[in-house]
Amino acid sequence: MNRSGCRAGGGGVVLIGMPGAGKSTVGVLVAKQLGLGFVDTDILIQERAGRRLQKILDEAGYQELRRLEEEAILALEPGGAVIATGGSAVYSERAMRHLGELGRIVYLKAGCGLLATRIDDYERRGIANPGGQCFEDIFRERTPLYERCADAVVAVEGLTHEEVARAVLAAIGQSQS
Protein backbone atom coordinates (compact mmCIF):
# COMPACT_ATOMS: atom_id res chain seq x y z
CA MET A 1 0.00 0.00 0.00
CA ASN A 2 1.28 3.47 -0.76
CA ARG A 3 0.90 6.41 1.60
CA SER A 4 -2.39 7.46 0.02
CA GLY A 5 -3.85 4.10 1.00
CA CYS A 6 -3.78 2.67 -2.50
CA ARG A 7 -2.16 -0.49 -3.66
CA ALA A 8 0.65 0.46 -6.00
CA GLY A 9 0.34 -1.57 -9.13
CA GLY A 10 -0.14 -1.50 -12.84
CA GLY A 11 3.53 -1.70 -13.65
CA GLY A 12 3.74 2.01 -14.38
CA VAL A 13 5.41 5.01 -12.83
CA VAL A 14 3.58 8.19 -11.85
CA LEU A 15 5.54 11.40 -11.35
CA ILE A 16 4.07 14.10 -9.13
CA GLY A 17 5.46 17.42 -7.99
CA MET A 18 5.38 21.15 -8.49
CA PRO A 19 5.49 22.80 -11.90
CA GLY A 20 9.14 23.09 -12.86
CA ALA A 21 10.24 19.96 -10.98
CA GLY A 22 11.01 18.20 -14.28
CA LYS A 23 8.18 15.66 -14.38
CA SER A 24 7.73 15.74 -18.16
CA THR A 25 11.42 15.77 -19.05
CA VAL A 26 12.33 13.08 -16.53
CA GLY A 27 9.23 11.09 -17.44
CA VAL A 28 10.35 10.74 -21.05
CA LEU A 29 13.80 9.55 -19.90
CA VAL A 30 12.31 7.00 -17.47
CA ALA A 31 9.84 5.75 -20.09
CA LYS A 32 12.65 5.25 -22.59
CA GLN A 33 14.73 3.35 -20.06
CA LEU A 34 11.82 1.10 -19.05
CA GLY A 35 10.49 0.65 -22.58
CA LEU A 36 7.11 2.08 -21.59
CA GLY A 37 4.82 4.68 -23.10
CA PHE A 38 4.76 8.22 -21.78
CA VAL A 39 1.68 10.26 -20.85
CA ASP A 40 1.66 13.93 -19.85
CA THR A 41 -1.69 14.71 -18.24
CA ASP A 42 -1.33 18.44 -18.97
CA ILE A 43 -1.23 17.60 -22.68
CA LEU A 44 -4.21 15.27 -22.28
CA ILE A 45 -6.21 18.06 -20.64
CA GLN A 46 -5.34 20.48 -23.44
CA GLU A 47 -6.24 17.95 -26.14
CA ARG A 48 -9.55 17.06 -24.48
CA ALA A 49 -10.49 20.72 -23.82
CA GLY A 50 -9.19 22.04 -27.14
CA ARG A 51 -7.34 24.89 -25.44
CA ARG A 52 -4.22 25.61 -23.42
CA LEU A 53 -4.21 25.32 -19.62
CA GLN A 54 -3.87 29.07 -19.13
CA LYS A 55 -6.85 29.71 -21.41
CA ILE A 56 -8.93 27.29 -19.34
CA LEU A 57 -7.91 29.18 -16.21
CA ASP A 58 -8.64 32.56 -17.78
CA GLU A 59 -12.04 31.55 -19.16
CA ALA A 60 -13.37 29.04 -16.61
CA GLY A 61 -11.23 29.29 -13.47
CA TYR A 62 -9.01 26.98 -11.47
CA GLN A 63 -11.81 24.68 -10.30
CA GLU A 64 -12.69 23.85 -13.91
CA LEU A 65 -9.04 23.11 -14.66
CA ARG A 66 -8.86 20.81 -11.65
CA ARG A 67 -12.09 19.09 -12.74
CA LEU A 68 -10.70 18.55 -16.24
CA GLU A 69 -7.47 17.24 -14.73
CA GLU A 70 -9.33 14.73 -12.56
CA GLU A 71 -11.44 13.65 -15.55
CA ALA A 72 -8.35 13.11 -17.72
CA ILE A 73 -6.60 11.10 -15.00
CA LEU A 74 -9.64 8.93 -14.29
CA ALA A 75 -9.84 8.13 -18.02
CA LEU A 76 -6.31 6.67 -18.01
CA GLU A 77 -6.34 2.92 -18.43
CA PRO A 78 -3.90 0.39 -17.01
CA GLY A 79 -1.14 -0.63 -19.32
CA GLY A 80 2.18 0.24 -17.80
CA ALA A 81 3.16 3.77 -18.72
CA VAL A 82 5.16 6.59 -17.21
CA ILE A 83 2.72 9.35 -16.32
CA ALA A 84 3.71 12.96 -15.63
CA THR A 85 0.86 14.65 -13.79
CA GLY A 86 -0.07 18.28 -13.53
CA GLY A 87 1.04 19.88 -10.29
CA SER A 88 -2.49 20.05 -8.90
CA ALA A 89 -3.38 16.36 -9.39
CA VAL A 90 -2.85 15.81 -5.66
CA TYR A 91 -5.95 17.85 -4.84
CA SER A 92 -8.12 15.00 -6.11
CA GLU A 93 -8.20 11.93 -3.88
CA ARG A 94 -10.04 9.99 -6.62
CA ALA A 95 -7.36 10.84 -9.17
CA MET A 96 -4.52 9.92 -6.81
CA ARG A 97 -6.20 6.65 -5.88
CA HIS A 98 -6.52 5.82 -9.60
CA LEU A 99 -2.91 6.80 -10.28
CA GLY A 100 -1.84 4.54 -7.40
CA GLU A 101 -3.53 1.66 -9.20
CA LEU A 102 -1.60 2.47 -12.39
CA GLY A 103 1.87 2.48 -10.87
CA ARG A 104 4.34 3.61 -8.25
CA ILE A 105 3.95 7.28 -7.35
CA VAL A 106 7.23 9.18 -7.19
CA TYR A 107 7.40 12.75 -5.91
CA LEU A 108 10.04 14.86 -7.64
CA LYS A 109 10.93 17.16 -4.77
CA ALA A 110 12.47 20.54 -5.57
CA GLY A 111 12.96 23.57 -3.38
CA CYS A 112 10.94 26.68 -3.98
CA GLY A 113 14.05 28.63 -5.02
CA LEU A 114 14.96 26.16 -7.77
CA LEU A 115 11.37 26.01 -9.02
CA ALA A 116 11.20 29.81 -9.19
CA THR A 117 14.25 29.83 -11.47
CA ARG A 118 12.60 27.27 -13.76
CA ILE A 119 9.19 28.96 -13.97
CA ASP A 120 9.54 31.86 -16.39
CA ASP A 121 6.15 33.47 -15.94
CA TYR A 122 4.18 32.12 -13.00
CA GLU A 123 1.12 34.20 -13.88
CA ARG A 124 0.90 32.72 -17.41
CA ARG A 125 2.06 29.14 -16.72
CA GLY A 126 -1.40 27.59 -16.29
CA ILE A 127 -0.97 26.78 -12.60
CA ALA A 128 -4.34 25.95 -11.02
CA ASN A 129 -4.87 28.13 -7.97
CA PRO A 130 -7.69 30.28 -6.62
CA GLY A 131 -5.82 33.51 -7.32
CA GLY A 132 -4.15 35.81 -4.89
CA GLN A 133 -1.58 33.12 -4.06
CA CYS A 134 2.05 33.64 -4.83
CA PHE A 135 4.11 30.71 -6.05
CA GLU A 136 5.57 30.20 -2.56
CA ASP A 137 2.04 29.92 -1.08
CA ILE A 138 1.15 27.21 -3.59
CA PHE A 139 4.44 25.43 -2.87
CA ARG A 140 3.75 25.42 0.89
CA GLU A 141 0.18 24.23 0.36
CA ARG A 142 1.03 21.38 -2.01
CA THR A 143 4.24 20.00 -0.47
CA PRO A 144 2.51 17.99 2.30
CA LEU A 145 0.05 16.60 -0.26
CA TYR A 146 2.88 15.35 -2.49
CA GLU A 147 4.63 13.80 0.48
CA ARG A 148 1.45 12.07 1.64
CA CYS A 149 0.67 10.60 -1.78
CA ALA A 150 4.15 9.41 -2.73
CA ASP A 151 5.48 5.87 -2.61
CA ALA A 152 8.96 7.34 -3.05
CA VAL A 153 10.56 10.79 -2.99
CA VAL A 154 13.42 11.86 -5.27
CA ALA A 155 15.15 15.15 -4.45
CA VAL A 156 16.11 16.91 -7.68
CA GLU A 157 18.30 19.70 -6.29
CA GLY A 158 21.73 19.76 -7.92
CA LEU A 159 20.96 16.86 -10.28
CA THR A 160 20.69 16.77 -14.05
CA HIS A 161 17.51 15.36 -15.58
CA GLU A 162 19.43 12.18 -16.41
CA GLU A 163 20.55 11.83 -12.79
CA VAL A 164 16.98 12.38 -11.58
CA ALA A 165 15.77 9.69 -13.98
CA ARG A 166 18.37 7.27 -12.58
CA ALA A 167 17.25 8.16 -9.05
CA VAL A 168 13.60 7.48 -10.00
CA LEU A 169 14.59 4.08 -11.41
CA ALA A 170 16.49 3.29 -8.21
CA ALA A 171 13.54 4.46 -6.08
CA ILE A 172 11.18 2.04 -7.83
CA GLY A 173 13.68 -0.81 -7.73
CA GLN A 174 14.63 -0.79 -11.40
CA SER A 175 18.23 -0.89 -12.52
CA GLN A 176 19.42 0.65 -15.76
CA SER A 177 20.67 -1.68 -18.43
Decide if 7 is inside a domain.
no
Alpha helices by DSSP H, listed for the chain, are 23-34, 41-49, 53-60, 62-74, 93-102, 112-118, 135-149, 161-171
Looking at per-residue pLDDT, the higher value among 122 and 33 belongs to 33
| CATH number of the structural domain spanning residue 117 | 3.40.50.300
Question: Which residues, in sequence order, are CB contacts of 2 under 8 Å at separation 6+?
Answer: 8, 100, 104, 105, 149, 150, 151
pLDDT digits (tens, 9 = 90+) for 90-128: 999 999 999 999 999 999 999 988 988 887 665 555 566
The domain of 167 spans 12-171
What share of the chain in percent tops pLDDT 70? Answer: 86
Decide if 6 is inside a domain.
no
Question: Sheet of 37-40: strands edge to edge?
Answer: 37-40, 81-84, 12-16, 103-109, 152-155
Q: What is the mean pLDDT of residues 136-153?
A: 94
Decide if 119 is inside a domain.
yes
Task: Read off φ and ψ for residue 39, nearest 5 degrees.
Answer: -130, 130
For the packed helices 93-102 and 62-74, what is the interaxial angle rounded to 10 degrees?
A: 30
pLDDT digits (tens, 9 = 90+) for 65-87: 999 999 999 999 988 899 999 98
Decide if 177 is inside a domain.
no
Domain count, the chain: 1
Asked if pLDDT for residue 153 goes beyond 70, the answer is yes
Decide if 4 is inside a domain.
no
For residue 177, the model assigns a pLDDT of: 52
Decide if 131 is inside a domain.
yes
Decide if 3 is inside a domain.
no
Average pLDDT, the chain: 88
Decide if 48 is inside a domain.
yes
